[in-house]
Amino acid sequence: MGPIEVTELMTLSADALTCRRGGRLIFDQLSFSIASGRALLVTGRNGVGKSSLLRMIAGLLRIAGGRLSLSGGDPEQTIGEQSHYLGHLDALKPALSVAENLSFWTSYLGGAGDPHEALENVGLEALAHLPASYLSAGQRRRLSIARLIAVKRPLWLLDEPTAALDTDAQAMLLTLLQSHLAGGGMVVAATHLPLGLADAGQLRLDAA
Amino acid sequence: MTGLGALLMRDLRIAIRVGGGAMIGVLFFMLVVTLMPFAIGPDLALLSRIGPAILWLGALLATLLTLDRLLAADQEDGSLDLLTMGPAPLEMVVGVKALAHWLTSALPLVIVSPLLALFLNLDGPATLAVTATLLAGTPALTFLGLIGAALTVTLRRGGLLLPVLILPLTIPVLIFGVSASNAAIVGPVTFGTPFMILCALTLMALVIGPFAAAAALRAGQE
């Protein structure tokens, strides 16, 4: 995989973000900022709003207060269009094969990347023609991760990225993350486990 | 545009594979229409008089039956989240999904309707008229249904709510679809008058449906 073409430094900044779900205040006055090449690990107890924060950045959840901005990117695009979201659901269609699933997301998300190369990167090239319904949880996760490298986007939003991954796949994920960061990308990950990234920033959410 | 083309191809492919459910609507349509003559009796004059209405009701119910899968399947597996993060506007995305749904679940109804018209003792011109009205009118049903699908997509068990929401909106389509077919058979108005109104209803649904559905999805982002 080649490095992301970054013409200038990008910065994702959140200013006094507020999250409300179902009338309940999840978090309030949350501010942080990360720049190109940096990772931010979001930690905190269950239900404290880690996933909500990621969905908010991805544009999948309404921002109840405060503002989010991504500077240095394409001003025509929303933050969601410049980011990858790896959530709990893997967005795979059981009726389609592994290769079909990945090539659909590659062309839909506007990537020029090669799906087969991405499959090799996550170790699924031998299963390319298998329907996705036969994949194990870890293999489905690997296929979702393949999407991140098949389509180049500067910001990765990862929700529990190591869930269901074996140690080999965790090492592979770490390599991909390091290479993404080295290429000027940004990572925001909600996680309970240390991902192994050396100089990642920490954002600890506490119950509001 | 390549992204939307890929979405169309994916939805068509899923629908025709095992478990895709493209044929459920057609089967239901055939069942409803085949049962009607048994219930009404072998009165050929009566059957040919109410035949267009039976075909239209069958097509309407068959469309409603499959509508709840239009967006729900993508919502359940997280695809809808990623679809909103693509470069294409959400209005186009849901429009393309509705188009794929129409091609796989409503177009087959139009194709089998001449066969079913035989069961109902419709003659050549009447069969042609019903098929033409179904071809022109079913896109309105699908695109109006798209609004309901978007409104109910975040509800876990929204399947039953959807027909209740959408049925009132489909009544004008049903009225003009059946009256255009009847006009071709018995008159007194010409076929063209109600048919043009039916086409206008479809055009309106094609415009309003995607915008309303995208607005409903955005409002449901919670």
pLDDT digits (tens, 9 = 90+) for A30-55: 888 888 888 889 888 888 888 888 99
Contact B10 A92 (CB under 8 A): no
Q: What pLDDT score does B119 carry? A: 86
The answer to whether the peptide bond before residue B188 is cis (omega within 30 degrees of 0) is yes
**Does the model's ipTM exceed the 0.90 cut?**
no
Q: What pLDDT score does A66 carry? A: 87
Chain A hits for B85, Cβ within 8 Å:
58-60, 80-81, 83, 85, 109
Please give the mean pLDDT across all residues of chain A: 85
pLDDT digits (tens, 9 = 90+) for A114-168: 788 888 888 888 888 888 889 898 889 999 998 888 888 889 999 988 888 888 8
Contact B85 A90 (CB under 8 A): no
Q: What's the per-residue H, E or C state across chain A? A: CCCCCCCCCCEEEEEEEEEEECCEEEEEEEEEEEECCCEEEEECCCCCCHHHHHHHHCCCCCCCEEEEEEECCCCCCCCHHHEEEECCCCCCCCCCEHHHHHHHHHHHCCCCCCHHHHHHHCCCHHHCCCEHHHCCHHHHHHHHHHHHHHCCCCEEEEECCCCCCCHHHHHHHHHHHHHHHHCCCEEEEECCCCCCCCCCEEEECCCC
Residue among A95, A109, A110 whose CB faces B19 most closely: A95
- Interface contacts A/B by beta carbons within 8 Å: 83
Question: Are residues B142 and B102 in contact, defined by beta-carbon separation less than 8 angstroms?
Answer: yes
**pLDDT band with cut points at 50, 70 and 90 for residue A1:** very low
pLDDT digits (tens, 9 = 90+) for B117-175: 988 888 888 899 999 999 999 999 999 999 999 988 877 666 688 888 899 999 999 99
Q: What pLDDT score does A3 carry? A: 47
Q: Is the pLDDT of residue A99 over 60?
A: yes
Task: Check residues B34 and A8 and name the one with the higher pLDDT.
Answer: B34
pTM of the model: 0.89
Q: What pLDDT score does B168 carry? A: 92
* Mean pLDDT, residues A70-88: 85
> Which residue on chain B is closest to A78 by alpha carbon?
B85
Q: Is the pLDDT of residue A9 over 90?
A: no
Q: What pLDDT score does A2 carry? A: 44
Residue spans of the domains in chain B: they are 2-219
**pLDDT band with cut points at 50, 70 and 90 for residue B68:** confident
pLDDT digits (tens, 9 = 90+) for B82-107: 998 888 889 999 999 999 999 998 99
- Percentage of chain B beyond pLDDT 70 is 96
Three-state DSSP at B20 gives coil
Contact B10 A90 (CB under 8 A): no
Cα–Cα distance measured from residue B60 to residue B55, given in angstroms and rounded to the nearest whole number? 9
**Domains of chain A from N-terminus onward:** 11-204 (3.40.50.300)
